Amino acid sequence: MKRRNFLQTAAVFGLPTIVPIAGLSASKSSLFTSLIAPESDRVLVIVHLFGGNDGLNTVIPLDQYAGLTKVRPLVYIENKLALKVNDNLALHPRMTGMQNMFSDGNLNIVQSVGYPKQNRSHFRSTDIWTSGSSADDIERTGWFGRYLDKLHPGFPVGYPSSEQPHPPAISLGNVAHASCEGANINFSQTVVDPNNVTMLAKADMGATSNDFYGTELDFIRTTITQTNAYNTVISKATDAGRNTVSYPSGNTLADQLKEVARMISGGLQTKVYTVYLGGFDTHAKQVTPDTSNGNHANSLREVSDAISAFQKDIKQLGLDDRVLGMTFSEFGRRIRQNASQGTDHGDAGPMFLFGGCVNGGVIGDNVEVHPDVPQTEGVPMQIDFRDVYGSILVDWFNVKSTLVKQLLHQEFKYMPLVGKCNEELPDSTDVVTEDGWTIGDPFSNSSNEVRITISSPSSSKLRYSLFDGRGRLVLANEISVSGTADYSLFTRPTRLPSGSYVLRMATGSGSTSTRKVVFD
């Protein structure tokens, strides 16, 4: 069963199935060498800031004060209060937690993210952001749901299974997040309080009538069973999990992230969690009594406090190479203020990516704020939101860019966003280790024997371990080496399915080298 699952996945993703291993040119790009299989334990946390976050008061372009003071006289953040992240850019004064994350290299700011032909309706634009469609298309499935559909075709039929006992997605709250809408059903198990799930009465699984009533009844009974199974693993993970920091109180985002951290630490293998915070529709009294206080300041403090507590917790739990966070809001706001100490619906806005593996820094240029910008102008888009999503799929879930194009859009442009933890495997050229060994690229012969050319300075041992795409050790042994020769490492065991594997080798004196092995 496992094998079948894996092959299905492999087929869907078109994993390379090149017979001669040595012929595989492992490029340096993280796309090819991360070897993070779809079934890895990496987690994405989507933070939805509903209402249209005002980007210009969140991420402040310090080189634009001539314009800002003109077009936002009552709303702009004073230069001296803004929290600098570099010479040109600063965060809102209430975002100290995220400023620290930036200094620690755990925060990436993506500037002016949006899409062409911005729709300024909350609902329609939310649909676009969650479905990953263009402004002109109605797409019923969610952007992450389409990815999950590739991993779990046919869901929910047959789930949970012994291989996939955990829900693929969890939405905190009552509503399954639209980004997780799959072809058949939303992948999210909604969880209001993982400490207190509602168990349904066990469904009677007796035979049902052989007609439409019977088939519908079977469907409902199966869902009941699935609900209870997922609730059971969620409860178990919540019980086993823990938090290592005290989260800020009176902060609904922190309340949710706290439970997410706890579920992950308790061993839940769910791939995506969604959390939600409203309150960003700041048409009026966005700032009061001064520009660093008011509704928007409170919301941003909530975001920053919650996310920085979460990041600290995740790090202390030893999970920060497994957890990536992403914020989004359905649009940014206008460049000019309105007449009510607020801002109206606009266009592009910043996104934050956070976690131990993000490439910390800033992507995109500062927003240009022209003093004569028209009242109706929003922040123009620099980066298509689907390129952010797609780059996350590439960097974080090792989805091939050809599939990303199919899932999101044909014009997909990759940006290195979260590849810091991805292992860089050497290409096919020989590697010289610190202790003077030369290790070639593994290759195979027709009898599925994996061989490697090694040159060792003395007679010694080479230890090796083979890991599958999920990082599980599948094979380990050692061989004796002496001088330069082609050595046989092992013959591919029939139990190992097709796919990519990581071969780790260690010389007698402990220098390590990593190579990729692909089984047809």
Instruction: Identify the residue among 80, 212, 372, 495 touching another protein (CB under 8 A).
Output: 212
CB of 396 to another protein, least distance (A): 26
Verify binding: residue 223, another protein, rule CB under 8 A: yes
Residues 87-146 that bind another protein (CB under 8 A): 123, 138, 140
The reply to whether 186 sits near another protein by the rule CB under 8 A is yes
Q: Does the protein bind another protein through residue 211 (CB under 8 A)?
A: yes
- Residue 200, interface with another protein (CB under 8 A)? yes
Distance CA 92, CA 109 (A): 13
The order of strands in the sheet holding 83-84 is 59-61, 89-91, 83-84
Q: Of residues 204, 290, 411, 434, which one binds another protein by CB under 8 A?
A: 204
* C-alpha span between 519 and 81 (Å, rounded): 57
Which residue of 226, 238, 274, 513 would you call a contact of another protein, by CB under 8 A?
226
Please select the residue that binds another protein; options are 220, 240, 473, 476, rule is CB under 8 A: 220
- For residue 179, the minimal CB distance to another protein (Å) is 15
165-to-80, 155, 227, 260, 359 alpha-carbon distances in Å: 52, 13, 11, 18, 32
CB of 226 to another protein, least distance (A): 6
Structure tokens at 170: 């969890």
Instruction: Please report how close the Cβ of residue 37 comes to another protein at its closest, in angstroms.
Output: 26
- What's the farthest any 2 CA atoms get from each other in the chain? 81
For 183, the token pair is 């072809």
- C-alpha 401/C-alpha 450 separation (Å) is 29
Name the residue with tokens 């938090």: 243
* Cis? peptide before 20, omega within 30° of 0: no
Omega prior to 289 cis, within 30 of 0: yes
Binding of another protein by 447 (CB under 8 A): no
**What is d(CA 228, CA 203) in angstroms, rounded to the nearest whole number?**
10
The number of residues making up the chain comes to 520
Instruction: Let me know: does 264 contact 256? Beta carbons within 8 Å.
Output: no
CA 483 to CA 436: how far, in whole Å? 12
- For another protein, the closer CB: 95 or 169: 169
Token pair 């993703």 in the structure block, residue: 13
Which three-class secondary structure state does DSSP give residue 180?
Answer: helix
Compare residues 40 and 126 and give the one whose CB is closer to another protein: 126
Q: Does 410 bind another protein (CB under 8 A)?
A: no
Residue 196 binds to another protein (criterion: CB under 8 A): no
The site that binds another protein (CB under 8 A) totals a number of residues, namely 38
Least Å from the CB of residue 139 to another protein:
11
Secondary structure element (H or E) that encloses residue 366, with its range: none
Residue whose CB is less far from another protein, 227 or 401: 227
- 217 is a contact residue toward another protein (CB under 8 A): yes
**Residues 152 to 181 in contact with another protein, rule: CB under 8 A:** 167, 171, 174-176
Q: Which residues bind another protein (CB under 8 A)?
A: 123, 138, 140, 167, 171, 174-176, 184-186, 188-191, 197-198, 200-201, 203-204, 206, 209, 211-213, 215-217, 219-221, 223-224, 226-227, 230-231
